[in-house]
Amino acid sequence: MLTRLGVPFTQTSPNVNELSYDDRFAEIPAEDFALLLARAKATALIQRDGDRWLLCADQVGVLEVDGERVLLRKPGTPEACVDQLMELSGRTHRLVNGIVLHSEIDGKELTAIDVQTLTMRAFDRAEAEAYVALRSPLDCAGGYRIEDEGIRLFESIDSRDYTGIIGLPLIATARLFREAGLL
């Protein structure tokens, strides 16, 4: 997705155990939690005497059930994926993206938050099972991919930038790059 902005980059994966931060989710707003995870990734990648800009992002799925916030995780197994989809059936949830652009040169940090609100239509377990068997979205928060047949599970989407649903909101990212003088 980042190639669409025309900025040269290299990619690496930070060594961050996202699950170790779960206890913080109940304490802080979802927006702050997404930024916390993105900052943790940037911190893990910082090199002493480095000269790079680090772009790190994290997406947090949030469902409100009976006044309680539920963190939507990557399901990992087909059974957990179907269960999570059934929990979302007929409900509205949010995808909150935290984006951090960090300079190794001077420690400057630019941040952005992007929120998507998605409402799934009511569907039955057989439809959820068929989708999971077809696409196996086990590594996706919420257990779906909007860019494939997962779109059929939705009733509506409220979004300023659909790329935020996929995981990296390019409009907000481009804004940070412009602010840093990279675009």
- Active-site residues, by number, are 58
| DSSP character at residue 19 | G
Backbone angles phi, psi at 97, to 5 degrees: -105, 125
- Shortest CA distance to 56 belongs to which of 47, 66, 46? 46
**CA–CA separation, 88 vs 142, rounded Å?**
8
DSSP 96-152: EEEEEEEETTT--EEEEEEEEEEEEPP--HHHHHHHHHHH--TTSTTS--TTTGGGG
- Shortest CA distance to 132 belongs to which of 76, 61, 91? 76
Burial class (CB in 10 A: 0-12, 13-18, 19+), 114: buried
**Token pair for residue 90?**
């007929």
